Amino acid sequence: MNKHKILVVDDEIAIQDFINNLLVQENYVVETCDGNGALKIAQSFQPDLVLLDVMMPAINGIEISNKLKSNPVTKNIPVILMSGSRGLIEAPERSNQVEGTLEKPFTIESLLECINRFFDTRQKKKTA
């Protein structure tokens, strides 16, 4: 039974709810928040993965990712960036700062494939 913890950071409540409901059905433990709560929740929740929207009003996902990676408590938490703009999530300077990208709009299948691929790859690295 899967009990990986995932933090979903998005400014749109509908997207938070959609991803939360889907991942809970897949036996993930999920927390959701907007950009303002991301750093604090990441520190306390210690997720196995953060799904992070890039375009948010108060603080954008790139800033949040940089702060997560520069904090000793959260620096090892993997991040998958989500955005409707491919250029924002696939910029060369971000390639070694995040563990993956997911282009919006995404399907249920592409979301689950992205997450499962991440955890499968991570598991293979642990057993190798």
Q: Encoding tokens for residue 8?
A: 């979903």
Segments of the chain with pLDDT less than 50: 92
Of residues 37, 40, 49, the one with CA closest to residue 7: 49
Beta 29-33 vs 79-83: how paired, if at all?
unpaired
Specify the pLDDT at position 101.
85
The DSSP string of the chain is ----EEEEE-S-HHHHHHHHHHHHHTT-EEEEE-GGGHHHHHHHH--SEEEEES--SSS-HHHHHHHHHHSTTTTTS-EEEEES-HHHHS-GGGTTT-SEEEESS--HHHHHHHHHHHHHHHHHHHH-
Per residue in 9-44, pLDDT tens?
999 999 999 999 999 999 999 999 999 999 999 999
**Using CA atoms, how far apart are residues 37 and 100, in angstroms rounded to an integer?**
22
The structure tokens 């897949």 sit at 26
Specify the pLDDT at position 92.
46
